[in-house]
Chain A
Amino acid sequence: MFKKYQMSFLLFSLMIFFMIIMMLFIYKNMTFILEVNLLSINTCEFSFSMIFDKVSFMFVTIVMMISSSVFLFSCDYMKEDIYFYRFMWILLSFVLSMCFLIFSGSLLFMLVGWDGLGITSFALIIYYQSKDSLIAGFHTMLINRIGDVFIVVSFFLFVFLGHFYYYPMCSTALTLMTILSVASLTKSAQYPFSSWLPAAMAAPTPVSALVHSSTLVTAGIFLIIRLSMVIPMTKELSNMLLLLGAITCLLGGTAAIYEFDLKKIIALSTLSQLGLMVFTLGMGLTNITLFHLFMHALFKALLFLAAGSVLMMSFGVQDMRFLGGISNSAPFSIVIFNISGFCLMGAPFLSAFYSKHMILEKMMFSSMNILSIVMISFATIMTAMYTTRMMKSLVWGKPNIKLIMKNSESIYFSMIMLSFFAIISGKYMWSLENWFLECVFIPNYLGMMINFFVLMGILLGLIMSVNNSYMWSSMFFLAPFYINSGKLLNPFLKNMYFLDYGWLESFSKIDIISKVSSNFSILLFSWPIFINSFFRSFIILMIIFIYVMSY
């Protein structure tokens, strides 16, 4: 009995330990660097290095906080599973890799954490041994490998510099910054590489709570933050981040409106928030990005845990059309779900209010083009819309399936712990660290407009009915390179179309089928995508064109 919870206790005590050290580092404003030189060839040093400063201790405290709750939650969520301990050990190795990444000060040490995250996340996604999980796992792994290619490319440039550290990099290392930023975008699921995040929801819910909401996807953003502390960003790089962040934010929000899968909606909301973070990085506000990253990690993990407790009741049914009336059968879970939902919207005095509103106010304050402001404002409205829709579907009506209440104390305790932090941490962080504070001078009506956006989103979400759209449900925009890759890879696929259930099938199904079927079945098979193919390409190109021209 006790053995089950020991990992959670361990992580909780580590959280307390790191929290005390974090206070000390913030109070004294200290930074320690630990260097171990492994090898020197000519003038190049191959060395491991670790940075201990307030940023790394804050992040590791948040990671420990979330992971202790998630471990406690999964003790009950996964207790029926025959490979329970295997699951726990993989999850623990994931947390360890994340800690390596957070404390890393050189690229070599960072790579240990980076690839550790890649491998363990693959192992966790394919944990349920079904075909869909395998496809999702390969999808995730292959896109993350694109990022690894960029990191390997950056190795050569580091050799030219003569060392592998982040911190003594001079401001001329701009190429390096650009390459590592692109690598970060793959990990953080930004626009051209964002298809893996909704696919990765094939993993068990505790994994989604830990990996795909708060830790793994923030690794890329954390890397950019670390680098931008020493290298100022160029205008081109800032523009790229602004563009990709705004597109991801808007499209993630739009897709969430048309989605019915509970976990996928939360995943798409993560995508939207990550877009907002990258957008903030593009504005050059690393401190607020970090603040929003922490707040988002807390409330999104809570949202996943609350959704997980609902899924426990429904025996894995995730479709919102089956669910409903959960306020009667599990009032506590739905209260937690609503708290985290309001955090996501940026409702006043909850944690994300302090970060999200500051981002939006800084956006209004900056001299940015009107188009990006409009895009992010729409994304804010959409966030409130789909969150309200999600709450409405779960709270109102009656379920179409039998829901059986079987939640236990460990699930409640993990959710209470996280919800406590999700409510107070915004104000707490502000009072703890002045670095997160920014001055904004905008007219009163612009400040009030943000609240108006949220209210409008809630109203629209309440009156919105069910949507049906092939264009948005197929998530074409998340996979612009892959959905039609069959055409590009035709010579390569010529000898592969007879293979059964290869992992390429999910990408190039349509073209493989068209080789072996009649005209009618091609039309039948590719009908929804066939109609919208021109339209969707046109819209995407228009958005990019207008955006680039407006700079």
Chain B
Amino acid sequence: MSYLQYTTHSHARKVRSLYKQAIRLLQSYYESFDRYEFRYQAVVMRARFDENKNETDLRKAKKLLLDGQKELFLKSHAQPMKFAESPGGVAYQRHFPPPDWILDTWHPYEKAQYPEYFALREIRKKEFIDRWEKQYGKGDHEVDH
């Protein structure tokens, strides 16, 4: 694929990954009231994997894996099931609280609209840094951000 692979995956791990993706794909093809049909197909899928479980010839095993990956691609679903909060899901990054330091980037004119809040904020920032330095000691300013 297009991303950079930075870990080494064993053959067994690739097969397990393929199995998991195949079951997820099967699940995409059946609605919740078709659960019995899905269970049946999942058992059939498991049997197809178990059939070649004890394959010792690595060339053959590798070919089986590649064939499986090709079949997975060809049978891919147009709208695969995605959990809402996962990447690609509908609620992905929905509740994203803006980080606190954004307020420091405000323009002085903008800050001037809320004078009390920002005055208190400056005091709190100073207190926080003091508390931090008391607990962990002074940081090295050369590597400080």
Give Cα A17–Cα B83 distance, bound, in whole angstroms: 45
- Which of A126-134, A216-224, A280-288, A486-494 interfaces with chain B? A126-134
Query: Quick check: is A228 within 8 A (CB to CB) of the other chain?
Result: no
CB contacts (< 8 Å) of A319 on chain B: these are: 81-82, 84, 90
CB contacts (< 8 Å) of B90 on chain A: these are: 132, 202, 261, 316-319
Indicate if the CB atoms of B31 and A324 lie closer than 8 Å: yes
Query: Quick check: is B141 within 8 A (CB to CB) of the other chain?
Result: no
Shortest beta-carbon distance from A32 to chain B in Å:
42
Query: Quick check: is B60 within 8 A (CB to CB) of the other chain?
Result: no
CB contacts (< 8 Å) of A473 on chain B: these are: 78-79
Give Cα A317–Cα B85 distance, bound, in whole angstroms: 8
**Given the interface contacts A317-B84, A473-B78, A473-B79, does A397 sit within 8 Å of B93 by beta carbon?**
no
Q: Residue on B with the closest CB to A81?
A: B95
Indicate if the CB atoms of B84 and A321 lie closer than 8 Å: no
Indicate if the CB atoms of A324 and B78 lie closer than 8 Å: no
CB contacts (< 8 Å) of A325 on chain B: these are: 32
Interface residues on B, range: 20 to 34
Query: Which positions 235-267 of chain A face chain B at CB distance < 8 Å?
Result: 258-261
Shortest beta-carbon distance from A313 to chain B in Å:
13
CB contacts (< 8 Å) of A470 on chain B: these are: 78
CB contacts (< 8 Å) of A202 on chain B: these are: 90
CB contacts (< 8 Å) of B1 on chain A: these are: 521, 524
Give Cα A132–Cα B73 distance, bound, in whole angstroms: 25
Give Cα A398–Cα B35 distance, bound, in whole angstroms: 8
**Given the interface contacts A129-B93, A318-B84, does A393 sit within 8 Å of B31 by beta carbon?**
yes
Indicate if the CB atoms of B31 and A320 lie closer than 8 Å: yes
Query: Quick check: is B34 within 8 A (CB to CB) of the other chain?
Result: yes
Q: Residue on A with the closest CB to B27?
A: A321
Shortest beta-carbon distance from A296 to chain B in Å:
25
A397 interface neighbour in B32, B82, B95, Cβ under 8 Å: B32
Q: Residue on B with the closest CB to A467?
A: B78
Give Cα A130–Cα B1 distance, bound, in whole angstroms: 25
Q: Residue on B with the closest CB to A389?
A: B31
Query: Which positions 107-145 of chain A face chain B at CB distance < 8 Å?
Result: 128-133
Shortest beta-carbon distance from B61 to chain A in Å:
24
* Total interface residues in chain A, CB < 8 Å: 42
**Given the interface contacts A317-B84, A517-B2, does A324 sit within 8 Å of B94 by beta carbon?**
no
Query: Quick check: is B118 within 8 A (CB to CB) of the other chain?
Result: no
Shortest beta-carbon distance from A292 to chain B in Å:
30
Give Cα A129–Cα B91 distance, bound, in whole angstroms: 10
B93 interface neighbour in A130, A258, A399, Cβ under 8 Å: A130
Query: Which positions 89-103 of chain A face chain B at CB distance < 8 Å?
Result: none
Shortest beta-carbon distance from B31 to chain A in Å:
5
Query: Quick check: is A469 within 8 A (CB to CB) of the other chain?
Result: yes
What number of residue pairs across chains A and B have CB atoms under 8 A from each other? 92
- SS class, residues of chain A in contact with chain B: loop
Query: Quick check: is A549 within 8 A (CB to CB) of the other chain?
Result: no
**Given the interface contacts A130-B92, A130-B96, does A468 sit within 8 Å of B29 by beta carbon?**
yes
**Binary interface profile of B, 85-104, with partner A (CB < 8 Å = 1, else 0)?**
10000111111111000000
B97 interface neighbour in A82, A133, A315, A469, Cβ under 8 Å: A82
Indicate if the CB atoms of A393 and B32 lie closer than 8 Å: yes
Query: Quick check: is A430 within 8 A (CB to CB) of the other chain?
Result: no
Indicate if the CB atoms of B78 and A466 lie closer than 8 Å: no
Indicate if the CB atoms of B92 and A132 lie closer than 8 Å: yes
Give Cα A34–Cα B84 distance, bound, in whole angstroms: 50
CB contacts (< 8 Å) of B34 on chain A: these are: 397, 465-466
Indicate if the CB atoms of B93 and A466 lie closer than 8 Å: no
Shortest beta-carbon distance from B101 to chain A in Å:
16
Indicate if the CB atoms of A396 and B33 lie closer than 8 Å: yes
**Binary interface profile of A, 295-332, with partner B (CB < 8 Å = 1, else 0)?**
00000000000000000001111111111110000000
Query: Which positions 378-408 of chain A face chain B at CB distance < 8 Å?
Result: 392-393, 396-400
Q: Residue on B with the closest CB to A518?
A: B2
Give Cα A392–Cα B34 distance, bound, in whole angstroms: 11
Give Cα A268–Cα B28 distance, bound, in whole angstroms: 21
Give Cα A132–Cα B90 distance, bound, in whole angstroms: 8
Q: Residue on B with the closest CB to A396?
A: B33
Give Cα A321–Cα B94 distance, bound, in whole angstroms: 21
Give Cα A521–Cα B90 distance, bound, in whole angstroms: 26
Indicate if the CB atoms of A528 and B78 lie closer than 8 Å: yes
The 10 closest A-B pairs by CB, nearest first: A324-B32, A397-B33, A473-B78, A397-B32, A130-B93, A396-B33, A316-B91, A128-B94, A316-B84, A317-B84
A-B contact pairs, 14 of them (CB 8 A): A82-B97, A128-B95, A131-B93, A316-B90, A316-B91, A317-B91, A319-B81, A319-B82, A321-B81, A322-B32, A392-B33, A393-B31, A524-B1, A524-B73
Supply 8 further A-B pairs (C-beta < 8 A) apart from A128-B94, A129-B98, A468-B79.
A129-B94, A132-B92, A261-B90, A316-B85, A318-B84, A321-B81, A322-B32, A465-B34
